[in-house]
Amino acid sequence: MRAGLGRNLTPMPIDESLSALAAEIEEPRSWPRPICPTCDAGHIGFGSPEHLESGESEVARDHADVGWDPYWIYGTFLLRGRCENPNCKQVVQVGGKYRVDEAEKTASSNPRSHDELWARFYRVETIYPAPAIVRVPTNTPADIVRGLTRASRVLFADPGLAATALRSTVELFMTDQGQPAKTPKGSFRTLDDRITAWKEGDADRARTGGLLLAVKWLGNTGTHEDSDLRHEDVLGVAAILDEALHRTYTGPDLDAQAQQVIAEHGRGGSPSAI
């Protein structure tokens, strides 16, 4: 279903809550509220995590006589959220790891109780359904949308894999733009070659091609076994890809919507009518 007139025609900023979810979250701070992956309008509100302490952590409690401290506690957690849009109410499940450590010091000069000295720290590793890394133009081809969805699904579990999925999305983009993956003789073309040929087909594509090359290079890094990409790296290059997609796919959408306005509101349906 197509969106309403004027929706999603300009690049959307990457949802800042994704960066917050990718960082370690200390209780009792409020959980970030990402944009709903289903309705793309409401935000996900989360409840309280369910803690599942690891077996080793539980056993360690039996050694309190040898200097046990709360920072020995660790385990996994489950968290449930729901879209706050009353017309959606999509349920979202979150999983990950938690640990106990010294709480960050506050500006308060009042002495804190023993319990206030410690806090749980949460690290998100899975979200389902996953919030979208990139919110694409309305007429983006389905294959490209699926590529971006794959990247979104693994962002928290494996940033390197997410970067690789974004690179694969550029490959899909090239195919959609008429740049085949193989030569007439059947050998595979490099992504550099496909992007270069695409840029040369239209002088206005030069800058967009540079954006796509940036996504390619980060994706290459993500494929290496020693990749140390961070979530921030992936979100940064996702913003670059978002810009490239909007430059390519919003032009035709704008033209079509302009014709729709002319047909509905123009006198006689003609742009030259007075």
Ordered DSSP codes for 200-250: HT-GGGHHHHHHHHHHHHHHHHHHSTT----HHHHHHHHHHHHHHHHHHHH
Tell which of 130, 156, 188 closes a domain: 130
Q: How confident is the model at residue 8 (pLDDT cuts 50, 70, 90)?
A: very low
More confident residue, 271 or 46: 46
pLDDT at 114: 52
Same domain, 109 and 152: no
Most confident of 64-78, 94-108, 200-214: 200-214
| Per-residue confidence (pLDDT) for residue 169, from 0 to 100 | 96
* Domain match, 136 and 263 both: yes
| Percent of the chain topping pLDDT 70 | 81
| Residue where one domain finishes, among candidates 111, 130, 149 | 130
Domain count, the chain: 2
Whether the pTM exceeds 0.85: the reply is: no
Q: How big is the CA angle at 6 (ends 2 and 247), to the nearest 5 degrees? A: 90
Same domain, 166 and 66: no
Q: What is the pLDDT of residue 69?
A: 82
Q: Maximum Cα–Cα distance for the chain, whole Å? A: 91
* pLDDT value, residue 28: 85
Query: Is the Cβ–Cβ distance between 83 and 129 less than 8 Å?
Result: no
Q: In the predicted model, is pLDDT for residue 131 greater than 70?
A: yes
Query: Are residue 115 and residue 143 in the same domain, yes or no?
Result: no
**Looking at the predicted structure, is the pLDDT value of residue 182 above 90?**
yes
* Residue 131 or 67, more confident: 131
Same domain, 141 and 157: yes
Span 168-181, average pLDDT: 95
74 and 99 both lie in a single domain: yes
Q: Which of 130, 150, 175 is the last residue of a domain?
A: 130
Same domain, 86 and 101: yes
pLDDT for position 222: 83
pLDDT band at 252 (very low <50, low <70, confident <90, very high): low
Report whether pLDDT(23) > 80. Answer: yes
Whether the predicted pLDDT of 71 surpasses 90: no
Domain co-membership, 122 together with 20 = yes
Listed in sequence order, the DSSP H helices in 16-115 are 16-22, 55-60
**Residues of the domain holding 182:** 132-274
